[in-house]
Structure 1
Amino acid sequence: MLNMENEEISILVVDDEERIRRLLKMYLEREHYQITEAEDGEEALKKALEYDYDLILLDLMMPKMDGIEVAEKLREEKTTPIMMLTAKGEEVNRIQGFEVGADDYIVKPFSPREVVLRVSAMLKRTHVAKEKESSDPDLIVTEHIEIDNRSHSVLVDKKTVNLTPKEYELLLYLTRSPNQIFGREQLLREVWKYEFFGDLRTVDTHVKRLREKLAKQSQEAAKSIVTVWGLGYKFSVQSEESKK
């Protein structure tokens, strides 16, 4: 499904139900992905920190350590893409998942084929982003934020800020068109590449998380991402005249 050897792609499948792990493993291995399993949160975190997976399928409700805690602790060290597996009635928990760094989610009960397609789409976006960072020499510099798309790095007041892949893509998309207002639907389409109707709160929770990370280094940097009520978001850049 990707323009790369799937045999080189490693995926960690985390779920306390063996039946679900086996099902996902079977379907994903048909696409020649390399699959590792974990049956609880503690085992998942240990493996995710020891090895650089290309993607983690992470169940939300698990013994020992739930998916929220795993994602939160993992984000302190790594930016591995995370797709959260959630039950139908766990909407609040899905929002929490986005807040701690999950990039996408899929609701149980799910079609294994849909999971394979969603996994392929996420891996493709990640792969394209990596290709762009190696070939695109863009360097975006604002008063408080510097984005180097060659190294996929973000500096806020000269200090490194670690963002998840989706947070980085969102910031990059906004900063490339300063002062332009983008609606939530447009951001879902352009940043998340959703060709179906996605949850608009996905955008809101990622913006909130992004602001929080920027604010740790600079309140002014965080204020650059402006909510335009009733319309969406924009990256605000003041002209020299307006600063006087």
Structure 2
Amino acid sequence: MSREWRDADVCAHVLIAEDDVNQADLIRRYLEREGHLVLAVHDGRAVVEENRRSRPDLIMLDVMMPGMSGLDVCRVLRAESDVAVLMLTARSTEEDLLAGLDLGADDYVTKPYSPRELMARVRTLLRRSRRQEGLLNGADRILRAGPITVDPARHTLLLDGRPVECTPAEFQMLAALAARPGQVFTRAQLLEHIHGIDRFITERTIDVHVKNLRKKLEPDPRAPSRLLTVYGVGYKLTGTADDALSA
């Protein structure tokens, strides 16, 4: 799908998945005011079908959807694509919010929210996608750490030469780690690579992304040998055997 970019912001195809028609219309008007192409659907199965048909850049996904819940929709989306997913949820407990991230959502906003906050989150996600596609910095350096190869310009991740699917947030974090194999990153540093400085996102989201990446990259996710925890500090990606032994 072709994308049109503005200098400051990203104009994109956004799919709103919200069963409240009035709320969906309000979000649509704000998005269109920023120049985005917007489509709204109102049940979970329609989200899956529309994603397959039109390949949007971003899906704003309400958790409480008829037909299929937003969490079930997110699970299907992640099995089929790496589209950016912003979850809209009335559930405010940390465990509920982390459950969405665990399924592959890139960010979440809790209801009630201000339209200005919502648009700021949209801009952050779309700019992140823009960076990943190499449209901001023209990045062409291929990053390698042991059997892991990250190509930021092409947005590809390989493990022993085989492609691995990951979410935009997972890819951004892994690219930061792969750029400096063996270096320890704190959770706060990794969070800034993914979300920028954002007071609404907690450092526990990093632990969720690490857990999901280990499922995809480790021979045994319960005994990781590539994406390592440095206790009391953060995480690092091994580049050599010495890196693994020093953890």
Query: What TM-score do you get using the length of structure 1 for normalisation?
Result: 0.89
C-alpha contact 1:11 1:56 (8 A) present in aligned 2: yes
**Gaps spanning 5+ residues in structure 2: where?**
none
Q: CA deviation at 1:12?
A: 0.4
Tell me how far apart the structure 1 counterparts of residues 200 and 115 of structure 2 sit (CA, whole Å). 20
Aligned equivalents of 1:106, 1:242: Cα separation in 2: 37
Using the size of structure 2 for normalisation, the TM-score is 0.88
Match of 1:3 in 2: 7
How many aligned positions are there? 240
The structural deviation recorded for 1:136 is 2.1
Aligned partner letter, 1:97: G
Q: How far has the Cα of 1:98 moved from its partner?
A: 0.8
Secondary structure of 1:131's aligned partner: coil
> Match for 2:26: what amino acid?
L
Please give the alpha-carbon distance, in whole angstroms, between the structure 2 residues aligned to 1:142 and 1:13: 38
Tell me if 1:47 matches 2:36. no
AA matched with 2:169: K
Distance change (3 Å), C-alpha of 1:69 and 1:188: same
Q: How do 1:26-65 and structure 2 match up within 5 A? A: 26-65=29-68
Deviation digits for residues 41-68 of structure 1 (CA, Å, limit 9, x no counterpart): 1111110111111111000111110111
Q: Is the Cα–Cα contact under 8 Å of residues 82 and 166 in structure 2 kept in the other structure?
A: yes
1:93 match: 96
- What is the deviation of 1:156? 0.7
Alignment RMSD, CA only?
A: 2.4
Cα pair distance change 1:106/1:52, threshold 3 Å:
same
* Distance change in 2, residues 1:5/1:146 (3 Å): closer
Question: Which residue of 1 is the match for residue 225 of structure 2?
Answer: 223
Q: Structure 1: which 4+ aligned runs deviate by more than 6 Å? A: 240-243
For residue 105 of structure 2, the aligned residue among 102, 105, 128 is 102
* Equivalent residue for 1:150, pick from 149, 153, 161: 153
Q: What's the CA shift string for 1:25-53, capped at 9, x where partnerless?
A: 11111112111001011111110111111
Provide structure 1 residue ranges, at least 5 long, that are not aligned to the other structure: none
Residues 240/230 of structure 1: CA separation in 2 closer, same or farther (3 Å cut): closer
One-letter amino acid matched to 1:23 = L
Paired residue for 1:113? 116
* Structure 2 residue aligned with 1:67: 70
- Alpha-carbon deviation of 1:222? 5.1
The question of whether the paired residues in 2 share the 8 Å contact of 1:133 and 1:151 is answered with no
Summarize deviations over 1:92-148 as a string: whole Å, max 9, x none. 232121111100001100001111111012111211221259832212223311222
2:28 counterpart of 1:21 = no
CA distance in 1, matches of 2:192, 2:73: 28
